[in-house]
């Protein structure tokens, strides 16, 4: 990222007694507060209308119920495939779109009559939910105790009763999942720049032999079109926006070849995922953090970086910084604690 671009640090007056500090990057704090990310699995971006929440009764129930959960849950569709059999079935099916009838192939309403739902950052996968199953999942997620782990044996949430919905747990101790918004029918910037980032991520994962522990997936709208390409890394829950606008008017071109996203962006995200650190140059915020928590975390990083030589603040190479004194502020769990800030 160019030192003169939107990701570079400007200077103003500090929030700490008048010392110089960095102006907050406009991307920081742009992640809407949410407690969970509910991913409807085995979908394809080719199936997604501009609004996906009406594609079936089960998806509608999940989206509307998720918005009412304590702390809120974000709902998206994705090609994330937790089970090999359903992945094969999904890749061979053709959906006519939007839940309407007619035409060749399977309608969205029939394909998504029952849905597999992955709950991030917990790592639970609820299987084949109809509308009643969705309601049971939402009741469980509405439990008062916040999750402190993505492991089925360490979570403070009660185990879902087997009679409520069939479920399993993802292995997230060593595995990392990267979700990239490629929802071109919602905003073409996400289709162009998100598609390029996803392709670069998958190519690098393959070439670097990381496929056994890192995977990249397409997801529908997550918010922040103007920051495209947008990505989320789990289980940490960090959000990144590579900011296509930094390249000017050319970034909105309709051609894939004009995308401002490059392999360096993908490499920085992979570095952050595999090293369990933050790529601060493109960080938007994170799951389970309020807007102010996100801003305070970014400020803390930049103030700390100033004291150790300014690393990780500016520069032409958007790399994740392993020496960052604030990269491990999040405990070995999926819970975000604002009390950690400045402690």
The SS3 call for residue 96 is coil
| Alpha-carbon span 100 to 108, nearest angstrom | 7
pLDDT for position 307: 53
What b/e readout covers 212-229, taking b as 16+ CB neighbours within 10 angstroms? eebbbbbbbbbbbbbbbb
Cβ(76)–Cβ(42) below 8 Å:
no
Q: Which tokens is 176 given?
A: 């990392």
Structure confidence by residue, pLDDT tens digits, 190-245: 999 999 999 999 999 999 999 999 999 999 999 998 898 999 999 999 999 997 65
Residues 280 and 270: their CA atoms lie apart, in Å, by: 13
What residues have CB less than 8 Å from 222, skipping those under 6 apart? 74, 76, 179, 181, 230, 232, 239
* pLDDT tens-place values along the chain, 343 residues long: 333 333 333 333 333 344 445 688 899 999 999 999 999 999 999 999 999 999 999 999 999 999 999 889 999 999 999 976 554 444 444 555 444 333 445 787 889 999 999 999 999 999 999 999 999 999 999 875 545 444 445 456 677 877 789 999 999 999 999 999 999 899 888 999 999 999 999 999 999 999 999 999 999 999 998 898 999 999 999 999 997 655 433 334 444 445 556 789 999 999 999 999 999 999 999 999 999 999 999 999 988 776 554 434 333 333 444 444 333 333 333 333 322 222 2
Helices first, then strands: H and E counts in the chain: 8, 12
pLDDT score at 262: 74
Is-cis flag, bond preceding 72, omega within 30? no
pLDDT tens profile 132-149: 999 999 999 987 554 544
3-state secondary structure of 284: strand
């Amino acid at each position: 990222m160019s030192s003169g671009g939107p990701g570079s640090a400007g200077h103003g007056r500090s929030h700490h007694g008048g010392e110089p500090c960095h102006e907050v990057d406009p991307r920081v704090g742009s992640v809407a507060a949410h407690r969970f990310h509910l991913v409807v699995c085995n979908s394809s971006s080719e199936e997604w209308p501009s609004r996906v929440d009406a594609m079936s009764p089960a998806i509608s129930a999940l989206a509307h119920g998720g918005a009412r959960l304590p702390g809120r849950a974000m709902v998206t569709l994705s090609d994330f495939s937790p089970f090999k059999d359903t992945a094969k079935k999904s890749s061979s099916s053709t959906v006519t779109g939007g839940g309407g009838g007619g035409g060749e192939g399977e309608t969205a309403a029939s394909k998504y009559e029952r849905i597999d739902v992955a709950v991030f950052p917990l790592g639970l996968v609820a299987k084949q939910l109809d509308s009643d199953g969705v309601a049971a999942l939402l009741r469980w997620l509405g439990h008062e105790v916040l999750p402190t782990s993505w492991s089925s044996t360490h979570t403070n949430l009660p185990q879902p009763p087997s009679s409520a919905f069939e479920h399993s747990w993802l292995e997230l101790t060593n595995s990392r999942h990267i979700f990239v918004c490629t929802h071109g029918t919602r905003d073409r910037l996400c289709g162009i720049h998100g598609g390029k980032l996803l392709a670069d991520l998958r190519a690098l994962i393959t070439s670097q032999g990381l496929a056994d522990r890192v995977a990249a997936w397409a997801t529908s709208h997550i918010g922040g079109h103007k920051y495209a390409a947008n990505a989320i890394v789990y289980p940490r829950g960090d959000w990144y926006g590579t900011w296509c606008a930094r390249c000017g008017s050319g970034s909105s071109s309709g051609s894939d070849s004009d995308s401002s996203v490059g392999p360096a962006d993908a490499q920085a995200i992979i570095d952050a995922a595999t090293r369990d650190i933050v790529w601060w140059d493109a960080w938007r915020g994170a799951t389970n953090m309020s807007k102010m928590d996100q801003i305070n975390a970014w400020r803390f990083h930049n103030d700390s970086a100033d004291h150790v030589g300014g690393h990780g603040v500016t520069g032409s190479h958007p790399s994740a910084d392993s020496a960052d004194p604030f990269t491990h502020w999040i405990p070995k769990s999926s819970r975000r604690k604002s009390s950690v800030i400045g402690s």
